[in-house]
Amino acid sequence: MEGGGDLDNQIEKLLNVEKQMRLAGDVAGTKKAAIDILDLCFKAGAWKTLNDQIVVLSKRRGQLKQAVTAMVQQAMQYIDQTPDIETRVELIKTLNNVSAGKIYVEIERARLIKRLAKIKEEQGLIAEAADLMQEIAVETFGAMAKTEKIAFILEQVRLCLDRQDYVRAQILSRKISPRVFDVDASKEKKKPKEGDNVVEEAPADIPSLLELKRIYYELMIRYYFHNNDYLEICRCYKAIYDIPSVKENPAQWIPVLRKICWYLVLAPYDSMQSSLLNSILEDKNLSELTYFRLLLKQVVTMEVIQWTTLWNTYKDEFESEKNMLGGSLGDKAAEDLRQRIIEHNILVVSKNYSRITLKRLAELLCLSIQEAEKHLSDMVVSKALVAKIDRPVGIVCFQTAKDSNNVLNSWAMNLEKLLDLVEKSCHQIHKETMVHKASLKV
């Protein structure tokens, strides 16, 4: 390179100045000398010399923390102005090595790792990018802004999902409490007390807390989708639906509310599903989605649902979800929907019959006797209901076996009620008789 000798002479002079300032304990002078050296290398386009000088300056005896921090921050500004990707990666790696193990530049190191991981991801090295990101535990950084911490952890989760490492994705996602998104930002900002750590401002490219909330729940939907956990997917969509910016825009809340309805119907029946179902039915916005209101009403109403009729009615809506926000409901969704309808019908039958023949049960469910028996057995095993099947006779009994003490107590209560009614009846007859006698005398 032309002028290489001249650059070396200038760097040598500045290194002497830096040494004098450092030994004198002059923080401002040491910082300025170190930054001037880096600036010289940058302007000359000597990227290898720049990397060497960063390492040399950081390793000098008794180097001041403030000088190292200033160097790392200054060099980070040069990353976007590197001539090619190799030079960029080399500079990032140099800065990463210099800042490793130093608490006073931990935030800078986290940002450097994030940039390096992004480059690796663009090169198609997802696993390498995920491994790089997992090295950093940002939740321990006291000076990092809350939104930046959340954004960093979400990036870790996303890369784990991209490499299909679902176990690690779940572990990382638990570092974020969903309650953190419900904190009022206006009340959050307090003046730092004396002695408290000063929290840095988040960079401009970090999304707001509500945007991070949406990203978090979208990632959790991806995670639960892997396990076909329909109720948790529904709860994630409900959290997205409650974001003010989503609720104010029909183009956004309509596809989300559709998803909530579908996943509610797909979720197995339990107290949480029932509670969520009833709360959604009370939502005023649901009146604009007539088909889905009717679907939820059918599921809530204790009446047998004809699967063929229901599928013919909602098949087009089901298939149109592929083009909606959030994509299709999954390969198993149609099969699981049929399963849920069968389970609903069995619950309806159990509420209305104490005993029923398997043949009649199969007719009501529009299934063969073998299929009806299988579905009923699965529900008994999962403790969704109590039933006993007498296979030789072909009768299903939905009554629970009663304890002798409970039977005796029930009989005693019934007897008490009966005697009470008899006493009231006698009193009424006696009263009527007295009134009748009095009217005859008159």
Q: Which two tokens stand for residue 392?
A: 């030789």
Q: How sure is the predictor about 426, in pLDDT bands with cuts at 50, 70 and 90?
A: very high
Mean predicted lDDT score pLDDT of the chain: 82
The 10s digit of each residue's pLDDT in 336-364 is 888 888 888 888 888 888 888 888 888 88
- Cβ–Cβ contacts within 10 Å for residue 323, how many? 9
Orientation of helix 65-76 relative to helix 85-99, angle to 10°: 160
Which is it for the CA torsion 331, 309, 234, 375, positive or negative?
negative
Q: Which two tokens stand for residue 217?
A: 């729940």
DSSP assignment of 41-80 equals HHHHT-HHHHHHHHHHHHHSTT--HHHHHHHHHHHHTTGG
The 10s digit of each residue's pLDDT in 77-87 is 888 888 888 88
Q: What is the DSSP letter of 3?
A: T
Predicted local distance difference test score (pLDDT) of residue 419: 92
| 422 has pLDDT over 90 | yes
Predicted local distance difference test score (pLDDT) of residue 84: 81
Q: How sure is the predictor about 5, in pLDDT bands with cuts at 50, 70 and 90?
A: low
Cβ contacts of residue 141 below 8 Å, gap of 6+?
A: 106, 107, 110, 149
**Better pLDDT: 182 or 155:** 155
What whole-number distance in Å separates Cα of residue 186 and Cα of residue 189?
6
The 10s digit of each residue's pLDDT in 178-205 is 888 876 555 555 555 544 456 677 777 7
The 10s digit of each residue's pLDDT in 38-64 is 888 888 877 888 888 888 878 878 777
The 10s digit of each residue's pLDDT in 14-45 is 888 878 877 887 788 888 888 888 888 888 87
Look-up: residue for tokens 């599921």? 299
The helices-and-strands tally (H runs, E runs) of the chain is 21, 3
| 13 has pLDDT over 70 | yes
Predicted local distance difference test score (pLDDT) of residue 378: 85
Name the nearest CA neighbour of 348 among 376, 311, 383, 314.
Answer: 376
**Better pLDDT: 172 or 327:** 172
Which residues does residue 356 pair with via DSSP β-bridges, in sequence order? Answer: 396
Alpha-carbon separation of residue 34 from 12, 106, 108, 197 (angstroms): 12, 20, 17, 27
Predicted local distance difference test score (pLDDT) of residue 420: 92
Give the chain's radius of gyration (CA, Å).
36
Predicted local distance difference test score (pLDDT) of residue 1: 37
Q: Which two tokens stand for residue 51?
A: 């990397």
What whole-number distance in Å separates Cα of residue 250 and Cα of residue 114?
35
| 241 has pLDDT over 80 | yes
Region at 272 (left for phi over 0; alpha for psi -120 to 50; beta for the rest) = alpha
Mean pLDDT of 277-286: 84
- What is the pTM assigned to this prediction? 0.77
Predicted local distance difference test score (pLDDT) of residue 442: 65
Cβ contacts of residue 402 below 8 Å, gap of 6+?
A: 410
The domain ranges of the chain are 1-99, 407-442
